[in-house]
Structure 1
Amino acid sequence: MIKEYKWVGSEEHFVDQTHLEEIGGVIAGHFGGNSTSGQTKNEDGCLVWVDKKKGWEFALLLDAHNTAQSAELVLKEIHSQKETIYGLLDMGIAGCFEKMNELILTTFKGKAFKEACKTIKGETACLFTIRKDNYLYWFSVGDCLLHLYNPDLAKLGEYQQNQRSFYEWVGQNSTFNKAVPTYSSGIKELRAGVNHILLTTDGLTECQGTDYHLPQKIYSVFEGNTNQEGVQKLLESIRDNNVRDSTTILSWRIETSVEATMPSD
């Protein structure tokens, strides 16, 4: 059975409140910011689908501004294609990721979606992430962050997977309205052992009084803690440091026994 979770900050803002949801092993963590620092709303959003039996997780993280309408629009559109996406996720690795790229591009460049964008206020960053078997895929528009922790990668200083890109959005002022849309996408082979996948909006990484702009500092919070405990501690930390911006975190751990590519020497 597929586990599902869909949320947008305009429905429940979690200002002054930390909140966790567990979706088939994925922890969704929310903190809407501190009202004492001037926060009054939450424009984040997320969508999580998990099929543990078939071995995949699908996550969409959104960080909107001006209003949450752009996040609402993207969530509505992607959710309306749920059955199509489920079908793609049941395909083989190569076909799944290739077809997912095509679906996202077709959606954001589509005439109906562009017309809908004209009726809303604001824009949103979007980060799609899929873990299927021993591979991690992402499609990123804007400045949401995707981190991956595995000991093999950490000892070489590799954590962040996507390029955080500014002045890129979907919505009212969409970079998909240009002659050529701007985005980044990638595929990563997971290493043997435990792989910790973490997506976050920039409220976490830009919180003053913390070092969470350094991904190794984020992962140090999880040492000796469960996934749920680690997310809770991160949210409590930024709350206690009087962060204004809202933060949404999606975090999960996957263990694989498949040996990854190694150098010939």
Structure 2
Amino acid sequence: MNNLFEDLSWVGSQKDFVDQINIQPYHHMIVGRYGGNSGAGQSKNEDGCLIWCSDEEDWEFAIILDAHNTAESAEIIVELFNAEKMQLKNLLASPATQQMFGKLEEKIVSMFQSGEFLNACRNVTGETACLIVVRKHKYVWWFSVGDCILYLFHPDLAALGQFQINQRQFYEWIGQVNTFDLAVPCYSVGIRELREGENRILLTTDGLIECPNEPYSNPRNIYNAVTNMKDEESILCMLNTIQKNNVRDSTTIVFWKINCIEKATQPSNA
């Protein structure tokens, strides 16, 4: 079990960061938080995040949450994953990567569909989008409910205009309104191979892209920020920019880099 690094767990109801930019390094990862501008009408932060990683940088596990109405739905998801932490970390440490991703999806669906959790959801006010991302070896896996965003930045992909990995889905949530309480749960899941060289992984709630004047609605602008500046500097610059543009919505960013030494898939005529 890898446990030298203290886990990072936060919900905006604990500290809201309204009018306050916060950059927190976590091992080789960076968390950026901004609660929005009080001058634009913001008074609370309903985001959340949970991050684990292995001591050997063999894997990273990150959740970001974007709740509305209250932060209660984000709180119960963080509590759920903390309660299952030992089982999940054992699964993430498995050397059988291919089987691990399938078992991880099965485990998370079972957690979200458990009777105890569904009852907890019925007793909260509001609901949350939830994006779960795991990097294991040369692959990145995601499980998405709602409209949080995952980017994978690499020059090979940028040359073809590819930046965003998941499709934002509206009218999907977990909480008081709960797509896991349907006859068939609704969510998105996928796996992407990392490219050879330096890969940049960025998760964000939608405050970053739905800011007035839309400085980051085009993902190439985010790509340029994280590739043209040092890591912490780039996250700080983006949060400063949305602050100056009088963003109301809160923004939570999780960012890290992975240098992949293995050859990536190429076309047969390359």
Which TM-score bucket, shorter chain as reference?
over 0.9
1:96 matched to 2:100? The reply is yes
* 1:120-159 equivalences in 2 (<5 Å): 120-159=124-163
SS in 1 for 2:207: helix
| 2:191 pairs with 1:187 | yes
Inter-partner Cα distance in structure 1 for 2:156 and 2:224: 16
* Aligned-partner residue type, residue 77 of structure 2: V
Identity across matched positions, percent: 49
Instruction: Let me know the Cα RMSD of the aligned residues.
Output: 0.9
4+ residue runs of structure 1 moved beyond 3 angstroms? Answer: none
Q: Deviations over 1:23-70 (max 9, x none)?
A: 111100000000000000000000011114151110000000000000
Q: Which letter does structure 1 place at the counterpart of 2:71?
A: A
Gapped runs of 5+ residues in structure 1? none
Q: Aligned with 1:41: secondary structure?
A: coil
- Secondary structure in structure 2 of the residue aligned to 1:222: helix
Mapped contact 2:7–2:52 kept (Cα < 8 A): yes
Q: Aligned partners of 2:5 and 2:192: how far apart in 1? A: 24
Aligned to 2:171, which of 147, 167, 170? 167
- The counterpart of 1:53, out of the listed 44, 53, 56, is 56
Deviations along 1:142-163, whole A, 9 cap, x unmatched? 0000000011111011111011
- The answer (yes or no) to whether the contact 1:54–1:90 under 8 Å persists in 2 is no
Deviations along 1:56-112, whole A, 9 cap, x unmatched? 110000000000000000000011111111111111211211111011100111111
1:232 corresponds, among 227, 230, 236, to 236
Unaligned runs of 5+ in 2: none
- Tell me how far apart the structure 2 counterparts of residues 145 and 42 of structure 1 sit (CA, whole Å): 18
2:13 aligned residue: 10
Amino acid of the residue matched to residue 87 of structure 2?
T
TM-score normalised over the length of structure 1? 0.98
Deviates more, 1:92-101 or 1:73-82: 92-101
Answer yes or no: is the 8 Å Cα contact 2:149–2:204 preserved in 1. yes
Distance of 1:210 and 1:54 partners within structure 2: 34
